[in-house]
Amino acid sequence: MNLNPAHWHLIVNHLPITGSLIAVLILLYGILRKNEGVIKAAYWLFALMAVFSVVATQTGEGAERFILDAKLADEAIIERHVEASNIAQWVMVIVGITALAALFINRLKTVRAMPVIVFILALIAAGLMAWAGLLGGEIMHQEIRSNNNVVLPR
């Protein structure tokens, strides 16, 4: 099996998208049930998703070169995805760092609102991840593009 850079990106990029959505639901469950163990598990999951988001971005650079060299898509549509994914990555990194800080802060019992703060940030990050994923899907799937975003390969 010979995997090219686009294959690797497709393998990795779904992890931070679906993982962040799952982590948001886990954190919400922990908040509603007031279950510290579940909340801490969600925090660790957010930290892991931050790492995966960086890896997805790194594999995206190779995938972009591969797609452009093979003339499979136009650079303009790829750049929309790149810009969205860079923003999503940095917001997810902020969520990961905030979640790790929350683990320490919770041990000190100084900020009781930390789970809600992380939840709000994570909800934003998950939305940005989903948006970046949608734009990424539009690169090779013309059927999901809106009419004003159709960019044909050269």
Q: Where are the alpha helices (DSSP H) in 34-74?
A: 36-69
In Å, the largest CA–CA distance within the chain is 58
pTM (global) more than 0.85? yes
Structure tokens at 14: 């779904």
DSSP string across 109-143:
T--TTHHHHHHHHHHHHHHHHHHHHHHHHHHH-GG
- What is the Cα–Cα distance from 61 to 72, expressed in whole angstroms? 15
User: Tens digits of per-residue pLDDT, 15-62?
Assistant: 999 999 999 999 999 999 999 999 999 999 999 999 999 999 999 999
Structure tokens at 80: 């929309």
